[in-house]
């Protein structure tokens, strides 16, 4: 089955700890994205990548880092510099082209202990 | 930048029709998406409009007026499973990247 997977479903972070959220897709999509969703707010773009070995900051990149070493994978690291990391994190991917509809993974809920 | 407005919440009756509006302001409009998101789950794609007019897909239809910066999602024959948040998202051209900005979503509650 083609799709986007994210792991884990729930993740707990201790103060001062870095954590990495996984995102894998087998849709052969070129572009991948990370969003953060907080209650009562829209999805906010953290980072995006249009091709392998290239990525750009979104609207709220501070305290986050990414890598894109493979087309299929776009992991997000939430660093200790992110002071309010509790949120629902969504990964998405899209085929480059006219429509470029984004398809989302199931999400990871990050909680700070 | 972009500004996207949707009602925060709506309630409708099972079997009825509901229209969810979305207004936007953007300098380089290049498409509008509607997504459905059930609580705690990922958004799923419903529709895409780039030209003026109505796109129909089963019980769901989406309308766009670019001159008015306005779109609506129409849900017919409402079912209980349609209770969800509906996200309007607008794409515009920002340099070399076509950026998609999401609205805060409209939470629809379908009641018996």
Q: What are phi and psi of B51, to 5 degrees?
A: -110, 155
Cα angle A65-A102-B16, degrees, rounded to a multiple of 5? 130
A42 with B105: Cβ contact below 8 A: yes
Q: How is residue B33 written in tokens?
A: 């998406």
pLDDT of residue A42: 85
pLDDT of residue A97: 64
B42 with A100: Cβ contact below 8 A: no
When pLDDT is cut at 50, 70 and 90, the band that residue A91 belongs to is very high
| Mean pLDDT of all residues in A79-108 | 89
**Cβ neighbours for A64, distance < 8 A, ≥ 6 positions apart:** A34, A46, A47, A76, A77, A78, A79, A82
Whole-number CA gyration radius for chain A: 13
* CA–CA distance, B65 with B53 (Å, rounded to integer): 7
Residue B50 has pLDDT above 80, yes or no: yes
pLDDT of residue B87: 97
pLDDT of residue A113: 81
pLDDT of residue A99: 67
Task: Give how far B81 is from chain A: nearest CA, Å.
Answer: 18
pLDDT of residue B95: 62
**Does A56 contact B at CB distance below 8 Å?**
yes
Residue B81 has pLDDT above 70, yes or no: yes
pLDDT of residue A38: 93
Q: Mean pLDDT: which of A39-43, A94-98, B8-12, B38-42 is highest?
A: B8-12
Residue A98 has pLDDT above 60, yes or no: no
Q: Which residue has the higher pLDDT, B2 or A26?
A: A26
| Mean pLDDT of all residues in A72-99 | 90
B43 with A99: Cβ contact below 8 A: no
* CA–CA distance, B70 with B23 (Å, rounded to integer): 5
A107 with B31: Cβ contact below 8 A: no
pLDDT of residue B28: 87
Lowest mean pLDDT, pick from A21-35, B8-22, B82-96: B82-96
pLDDT of residue B94: 66
A96-105 burial code (b ≥16 CB/10 A, e <16): eeeebbbbbb
Q: How far is CA B84 from the centre of its chain?
A: 12
When pLDDT is cut at 50, 70 and 90, the band that residue A22 belongs to is very high
pLDDT of residue B99: 82
């Amino acid at each position: 089955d083609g799709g986007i997977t994210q792991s884990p479903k729930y993740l707990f972070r201790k103060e001062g700890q870095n954590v990495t959220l996984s995102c894998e897709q087998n849709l052969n999509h070129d572009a991948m994205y990370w969003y953060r969703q907080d209650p009562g707010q829209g999805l906010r773009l953290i980072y995006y990548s249009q091709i392998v070995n290239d990525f750009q900051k979104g609207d709220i990149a501070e305290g986050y880092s990414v890598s894109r070493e493979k087309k299929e994978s776009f992991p997000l690291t939430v660093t200790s510099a992110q002071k309010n990391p509790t949120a629902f994190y969504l990964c998405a991917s899209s085929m480059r082209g006219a429509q470029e509809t984004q398809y989302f993974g199931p999400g990871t809920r990050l909680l700070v202990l | 930048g972009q500004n996207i407005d949707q009602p925060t919440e709506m309630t409708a009756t099972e079997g009825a029709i509901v229209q969810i509006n979305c207004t936007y302001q953007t300098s380089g409009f290049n498409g509008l998406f509607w997504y459905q998101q059930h609580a705690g789950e990922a958004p799923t794609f419903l529709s895409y409009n780039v030209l003026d007019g109505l796109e129909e897909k089963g019980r769901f239809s989406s309308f766009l007026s670019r001159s008015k910066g306005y779109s609506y999602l129409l849900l017919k024959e409402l079912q209980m499973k349609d209770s969800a948040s509906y996200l309007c998202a607008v794409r515009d051209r920002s340099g070399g990247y076509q950026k998609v900005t999401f609205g805060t979503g409209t939470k629809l509650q379908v009641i018996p």
